[in-house]
Amino acid sequence: MMWLDKHPDVIQYSSEEIVVPYKSPIDMRWHRYFPDFLVKMRNANGMTETVMIEVKPAKETTPPKPKKARTHTRTYLNEVYTWGVNSAKWDAAREYCKDRGWKFEIMTEKHLGIII
């Protein structure tokens, strides 16, 4: 990812190498989540920190709003499903990072300066 390659504080990063177990609220089973990046970087104080990063479209980072028209029912249900699974993954990732003294961040096209 160009953002990581060009960021002056990034020391090293890997992509989809960490496995975080999470329980899906959809089927109540355990699944494996592979966050997009694990990054070692210097923070504002010059100290090294580890950050787990997930990259998602901004529209998938907030709960869906109910649709009024019946024609959008399938779309809304898909959004609810996606939000439920993503929320479970992110909660598990936050706990995983907390246990290790890492940070967890969700980045969108806005954070990365991508115009859509």
pLDDT band, very low/low/confident/very high, at 73 (cuts 50, 70, 90): confident
pTM of the model: 0.86
CA of 37: how far to CAs of 53, 71, 103, 106, in Å? 5, 37, 12, 10
Residue 109 pLDDT greater than 90, yes or no:
no
Count of Cβ atoms closer than 10 Å to residue 88 Cβ: 17
| pLDDT at residue 70 in the model | 66
- For the ranges 2-16, 40-54, 68-82, the lowest mean pLDDT is seen at 68-82
Mean pLDDT taken over the chain: 91
The CA distance from 49 to 16, in Å, is 18
Could you say which DSSP state residue 59 is in?
Answer: G
The CA distance from 14 to 18, in Å, is 9
Region 46-64 average pLDDT: 93
| pLDDT at residue 68 in the model | 72
